[in-house]
Amino acid sequence: MIRWILALLLVFSTYNPSGYSWYHWLTEAETKIDPLIALAGVLLLIGWVIYVRASARSLGVIGALLALAFFGTLVWALIHYQVISLSNTTLLTYIVLVVISAVMATGLSWSHIRRRMSGQLDVDDRDED
């Protein structure tokens, strides 16, 4: 749950439709070369690299596609059964951002989940002699 909250924080800090995000801060700045905007951008980039790289290594291409398919189908079902409307683009944007963070959190947590289910460890690092 903590990994998902951190992923939500990362995604929504980068962009969200409310107007309070790094993207809006950058586009509304009088001078585009501002050290605080650059520092925040670098910190966000570090967070994105950590999450995306860990998710890619943990899930792989097939796992990432399956995670996106799962969450995409869930959104499709919500639209199909008229729980949400396609005309509400703000809500759809929020849902897409939550889906992105859920896929990233799944990727970051997948090795732990697999170890609990199977008892097997994932080891990516090896010693080169």
Q: Going residue by residue through the chain (129 aa), what tens digit of pLDDT does each one get?
A: 898 999 999 999 999 999 999 999 999 988 877 899 999 999 999 999 999 998 888 888 888 889 889 989 999 999 999 999 989 999 999 999 999 999 889 888 876 676 677 766 655 555 555
102 touches 71 (CB < 8 A) = yes
CA nearest 91: which of 109, 77, 74, 79?
Answer: 79
pLDDT score, position 96: 92
